Chains A and B, each alone.
Chain A
């Protein structure tokens, strides 16, 4: 078995076709006739533009506009006078077209790959693709025509260039394996769009296989089997059927309401990090946003974002959701999230230190800016304010006072906002859990953050491998805490949500249904999975398994019980 990056989910089983790459070799001779060399370059450039725009158009039609953007980007870059101009200059000075293309592309690759920004570093791989395409045209090298491969083919290549990927016929290619590329590379994006299982970055795979070998591509786990034993093969054939059936079942949940099998309606929201993710939440059929992390505005920045900048981001998310709730968590800085320009001094125990609402209330001027931006955005949708890391009643009161002050100011100045804007507490500390009944009198809603709640309740740093075994939301203490928080919310008549990873955990869902959680907030890609699992439990069944689980004494016993009862 070989292991790589799981880039596109699903299981593919088929016969290998290895795509061998031609060496892009040329003699970097000094050119005497620079005029005709320039003409050769110009015609290669024209051909590149023509082919690239045809491929982009084809992908746009067959797959979608988002996937075509990569190739359109290549066109934009090669249409830039700087790129072709530099190449032309070098040719005029006597270099051959190939070495001019290579030198200029390598210069930009070097420049972009050093940048401290993921998106920018991807430009380096774009330019690398451009270089290869241009060199192939100049050297007269034809790519294998992938559109002609037989049904049931697993493609194996060092890398899939955009021109290769654009030829893939979905019906014939059942899997993709490459030696390079990551989750965000061109080949990964297209594989996902075409729903072809793909494992990328498998070292030396082209040398390890030959044509007609049988391959299993497990794009969910990132595993590859070549000429597998009979029992592995039969296991995977079953797994593949199950996966296909599951996908079809999940698609059936799109557009449906979220409810238990006995008809109790629940809310299924999404966790997002940027206004762009809000689109994803809608595309994935989320019913709202249960956690909008506002940190991105502050992290990708060299100074405090202004009120208008923040307002625009919150407004965009609110409008994208079109009136469905958007719960914005105010700045959760500190702990493991450092924002250099805030100048929080180095702490011995950052997770017990100056973070989240503590920092915000200690810097009311900047907190005021964020709260004003959120309240302004409330005029454009159903926006709610969520305060992270609350440990005592004074904190939520202080935030509510600030919001009241903002409302008064807006009223006086005729600025629009939602008069019923809610202010809720994130419950993620043992202290907040223990006083949840008191906080429930102040807060309009609760949202349980299981990641921090587990870490603080168990006093365990999950990044520390020696103690990580203690980090489990199924520890009896954590479960009791969650149950208590939800009960306090229910007794006070306020909604209680959960926005930690546990909200989408198939083992946790029956417990949450039984405790009375009303809102589940999950990663957008897990919306349909969570809706499917919720639909399989009735309240009575959930109550029964929960009573059994709470009667057990150890985490191991609880997980074992829940696994046996799990409904997928």
Chain B
């Protein structure tokens, strides 16, 4: 498993559109993609789970990827969050 900590910087946090962009981008990966926030773990391929985490702008999260393409998945996840999730 690989993981990385990152701060969510887009203005709206993990609201509908950003969460949808993120979960859709993660779905094609074979690896499990999880987000750890406030001590809880959320399935990053599920927009509902991402939204239910209530991640706001400025929140520090950890992205965990586990599986055959974990390095690629993590790279993509970090790129997306850094670029502001299309917000």
Residues of A within 8 A of B (CB): 69, 73, 76-77, 80-83, 108, 111-112, 115-117, 119-120, 123, 274-276, 300-303, 305-306, 308-309, 312-313
The answer to whether A302 touches B9 (Cβ under 8 A) is no
Q: How far is the CB of B19 from chain A (nearest CB, A)?
A: 9
In addition to A80-B48, A123-B51, A309-B57, 20 A-B residue pairs with Cβ atoms within 8 Å of each other are A69-B17, A76-B16, A76-B20, A80-B47, A82-B46, A108-B48, A108-B52, A111-B52, A112-B52, A117-B56, A119-B12, A120-B51, A123-B16, A276-B11, A301-B56, A301-B58, A302-B58, A305-B57, A309-B9, A309-B58
Chain B residues with CB under 8 Å of A111's CB are 52
Interface majority SS on A: helix, strand, loop or mixed?
helix
Chain A residues with CB under 8 Å of B12's CB are 119
26 contacts between A and B (CB under 8 A): A73-B20, A76-B16, A76-B47, A80-B47, A81-B46, A82-B46, A82-B48, A82-B49, A112-B52, A115-B54, A116-B54, A274-B11, A276-B11, A300-B13, A300-B56, A300-B57, A301-B57, A301-B58, A302-B56, A302-B59, A305-B58, A306-B9, A309-B57, A309-B58, A312-B9, A312-B84
Q: Mark B10-26, 1 if CB is under 8 A from A, else 0.
A: 01110111001001000
Chain A residues with CB under 8 Å of B13's CB are 300
The answer to whether A303 touches B49 (Cβ under 8 A) is no
Chain B residues with CB under 8 Å of A112's CB are 51-52
Q: How far is the CB of A367 from chain B (nearest CB, A)?
A: 18
Q: How far is the CA of A115 from the CA of B53 in the complex (A)?
A: 10
Chain B residues with CB under 8 Å of A301's CB are 56-58
The answer to whether B48 touches A117 (Cβ under 8 A) is no
Chain B residues with CB under 8 Å of A115's CB are 54
The answer to whether B58 touches A77 (Cβ under 8 A) is no
Judge whether B62 is part of the interface by a CB distance below 8 angstroms.
no
Interface residues of B in 7-44 (CB under 8 A from A): 7, 9, 11-13, 15-17, 20, 23, 43
Q: How far is the CB of B43 from chain A (nearest CB, A)?
A: 7
Chain B residue at minimum C-beta to C-beta distance from A82: B46
Chain A residues with CB under 8 Å of B58's CB are 300-303, 305, 309
Chain B residues with CB under 8 Å of A305's CB are 57-58
Chain A residues with CB under 8 Å of B49's CB are 82
Q: How far is the CA of A303 from the CA of B56 in the complex (A)?
A: 11
Chain B residues with CB under 8 Å of A117's CB are 54, 56
The answer to whether A80 touches B46 (Cβ under 8 A) is yes
Q: How far is the CA of A348 from the CA of B56 in the complex (A)?
A: 32
Chain B residues with CB under 8 Å of A108's CB are 48, 52
Chain B residues with CB under 8 Å of A83's CB are 48
Chain A residues with CB under 8 Å of B57's CB are 300-301, 305, 309
Chain A residue at minimum C-beta to C-beta distance from B23: A80
The answer to whether B23 touches A119 (Cβ under 8 A) is no
Chain A residues with CB under 8 Å of B7's CB are 306
Chain A residues with CB under 8 Å of B52's CB are 108, 111-112
Indicate the member of B16, B47, B48, B52 with the most A CB atoms within 10 Å. B48
